[in-house]
């Protein structure tokens, strides 16, 4: 029997803030739910793969210091500039990495570490 990754599940303090960050800001697609129906749940994704299940929970259930969410974008520099203009704070500007990606790190509204990345020409 083969195993495969299905999705990541995040507990967040506010679905509206999470929607604004991941859907409006990073461009992920809303696949299910919205929180507007009172369910307190939504599923986000995009492209060809991995999804994130998001559920609103109490503060003591939120956070995971060892988790990093990686979002691949078409143009990291344009995404970085757009998010910076919206007052999103980054650890540093995008930089070319030895593993063939141009990457920048930031935190989502609940403090989860997020990196955005685009392949460097000739990279993966």
List average pLDDT for each run of 10 residues in the chain, which is 124 residues long: 78 92 91 75 83 92 89 92 94 94 94 93 66
Residue-level pLDDT at 104: 96
pTM here is 0.85
Which segments of 1-124 are extended strands (E)? Answer: 7-12, 29-33, 41-45, 51-56, 68-72, 95-96, 101-107, 113-119
When computed from its CA atoms, the radius of gyration of the chain, rounded to whole angstroms, is: 15
Residue-level pLDDT at 46: 78
Residue-level pLDDT at 90: 96
At the fourth CATH level, which superfamily is domain 7-119? Answer: 2,3-Dihydroxybiphenyl 1,2-Dioxygenase, domain 1 (3.10.180.10)
Residue-level pLDDT at 62: 93
- Count of C-beta atoms within a 10 Å radius of residue 99: 11
Residue-level pLDDT at 33: 82
Residue-level pLDDT at 54: 93
Residue-level pLDDT at 121: 77
Residue-level pLDDT at 102: 95
Instruction: Return left, alpha or beta for 111; rule: phi > 0 is left, psi -120 to 50 is alpha, else beta.
Output: left
Residue-level pLDDT at 58: 93
Q: Are 49 and 71 in contact (CB under 8 A)?
A: no
């Amino acid at each position: 029997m083969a195993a495969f990754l299905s999705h990541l599940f995040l507990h967040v303090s506010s679905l509206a803030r999470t929607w604004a960050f991941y859907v409006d800001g990073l461009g992920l697609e809303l696949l299910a739910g919205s929180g507007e129906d009172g369910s307190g749940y939504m599923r986000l994704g995009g492209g060809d793969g991995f999804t994130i299940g998001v559920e609103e929970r109490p503060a003591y259930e939120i956070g995971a210091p060892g988790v990093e969410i990686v979002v691949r974008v078409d143009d990291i520099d344009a995404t970085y500039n757009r998010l910076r203009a919206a007052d999103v704070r980054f650890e540093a500007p995008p930089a070319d990495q030895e593993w063939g990606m141009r990457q920048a790190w930031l935190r989502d509204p609940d403090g989860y570490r997020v990196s955005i990345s685009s392949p460097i020409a000739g990279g993966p």
